[in-house]
A = this chain, B = another copy of it.
Amino acid sequence: MTSAATAPLLRRLNAETVLNVLRDVEAIRHTELADAAGLSRPTVDAVIEDLRRIGLIAEVEDDTPGRRGRPARLVRFRAERGHVVGIDIGVHKCMVSVADLRGVVLTTQVRSLGQELGRKERLDGVRKAVREALKQARVERSAVLAACAATPGIVDPRTGVVLTCDVLPDWKGLNLRAVLGRSFGAPVLADNDANLAVVGERWRGVASTSEDVIYVLAGERLGAGIVSGGQVFRGHDGGAGEMSFLSLLEHTPGAEGIGALASHIGKEVVARLREHTSSLTGDAALLLAAARDGDTEAQQVLEEILARIARAIGTMALLLNPELIVIGGGVAAAGEQIAEPIRRRLPRMTSLPPRLEVSALGDKAVTVGALRTALDSVESSLLDNLNA
């Protein structure tokens, strides 16, 4: 049942709208703040006092020249009040970003991880990457107010437990919140990587104006993050957006993602290409490069692969009717070479075809979304203690 709506709730709500104004601005006069927030002056003053007490804002000198009248006091958001950490745990690498409370990224560290690493070794790698990043950003561990970790697989966002994970088999059953929580004195959140990527893309990417978005993480795996009405769609166990069984490869279960498709469908072509190159890039990248160079066989295989992926994306577009689909993950680097053939096919599969764009954040989308999620958690818990 809903608890009683009592007066402090108003303060909390108004503090929230004031913060929303403050976060997007360098410094602001009390008067302007009142106007922008749609609140009266005394209310804003009271809110400011509250926020100052918990360290979220500070006073600043008004050095604007040529202003007459009594000089105004300015307030600014104290982004340095604390920091958040965003962690993207992948199969081959781990990316860690550190940001201040405004979300300004101080550093992003990437650490490569062996694909065959066990649970403990992988977690050690993650912890080392975090330590490295914090050192680089000159942020004390005690200054971290929240962290958020992304992982492939299905994560129960309430508990932080990895329910299933195809690509990291021994990851299953891991309580990410608990094991990483010991590294911080702050709450650790955990979620699926595609879910966080769509949050990132909505915060600072191509989806910033859209409330109904699907982010397709197309790399070695294929997964989706779904946002509807501005809210992440997780499903009952956090498993929404899984595409593993979408029969991209008929009769080859378990082989998902563009890399796998390239290896299977274009086996001969890839083998031929591999002879003429010494690079260590994946099959997908090889195929894309060859197709760009005019290799007609490679182009044919690529078309076939993209047709299958388009079918999966079209299925989602039909069922979920998003406004926008964002292509992200490893293949996003190929840009329009990937996007255009998919976009071309969508109208055949749904009567209301969505826009389709390539990720603006690239492989950083996941950590950016993790940072945003951690920031939300920090702000809400700070506001919970307004009157304490």
Chain B residues within an 8 Å CB radius of A39: 4
Could you tell me the distance in whole angstroms from the C-beta of A250 to the nearest C-beta in chain B?
Answer: 12
Contact B164 A246 (CB under 8 A): no
Residue of B nearest to A39 (CB): B4
Decide if A109 is an interface residue (CB 8 Å cutoff).
Answer: no
Decide if A9 is an interface residue (CB 8 Å cutoff).
Answer: yes
Residue of B nearest to A13 (CB): B5
Decide if A319 is an interface residue (CB 8 Å cutoff).
Answer: yes
Contact B236 A212 (CB under 8 A): yes
CA distance A234 to B245 in the complex (A): 24
Take A233-B228, A241-B319, A314-B245 as given contacts and tell me if A17 and B38 are in contact as well, using a CB distance cutoff of 8 Å.
no
Chain B residues within an 8 Å CB radius of A321: 234-240, 242
CA distance A69 to B210 in the complex (A): 60
Could you tell me the distance in whole angstroms from the C-beta of A100 to the nearest C-beta in chain B?
Answer: 24
Chain B residues within an 8 Å CB radius of A280: none
CA distance A20 to B316 in the complex (A): 37
A contact face: mostly helix, strand, loop, or mixed: loop
CA distance A2 to B38 in the complex (A): 8
Chain B residues within an 8 Å CB radius of A316: 319
Contact A322 B235 (CB under 8 A): yes
Give the contacts of A231-290 with B (CB-CB under 8 A).
Answer: 231, 233-246
Residue of B nearest to A16 (CB): B2
Contact B246 A320 (CB under 8 A): no
Decide if A387 is an interface residue (CB 8 Å cutoff).
Answer: no
Residue total for A at the interface (Cβ-Cβ under 8 A): 58
Which of A59-67, A130-138, A180-188, A349-357 is found at the contact surface with chain B?
A349-357
CA distance A210 to B235 in the complex (A): 11
Contact B351 A239 (CB under 8 A): yes
Could you tell me the distance in whole angstroms from the C-beta of A376 to the nearest C-beta in chain B?
Answer: 16
**Interface flags, A123-156, vs B, CB<8A=1, else 0:** 0000000000000000000000000000000100
Could you tell me the distance in whole angstroms from the C-beta of A326 to the nearest C-beta in chain B?
Answer: 14
In the complex, which of the residues B2, B245, B323 contacts A236, with contact meaning CB atoms closer than 8 Å? B323
**Interface flags, A1-37, vs B, CB<8A=1, else 0:** 1111111011001101100100000000000000011
Chain B residues within an 8 Å CB radius of A17: 1-2, 4-5
The 4 closest A-B pairs by CB, nearest first: A235-B321, A239-B321, A5-B13, A236-B323
A residues with a Cβ closer than 8 A to B are 1-7, 9-10, 13-14, 16-17, 20, 36-40, 43, 154, 163-164, 210-212, 224, 228-229, 231, 233-246, 314-316, 318-323, 349-352, 354
Could you jot down 23 A-B contacts, CB within 8 Å? A1-B36, A4-B14, A4-B38, A4-B43, A5-B10, A5-B17, A7-B10, A9-B10, A10-B10, A210-B236, A224-B319, A228-B240, A231-B231, A234-B321, A235-B321, A235-B322, A237-B321, A237-B352, A239-B351, A245-B318, A246-B318, A316-B319, A319-B319
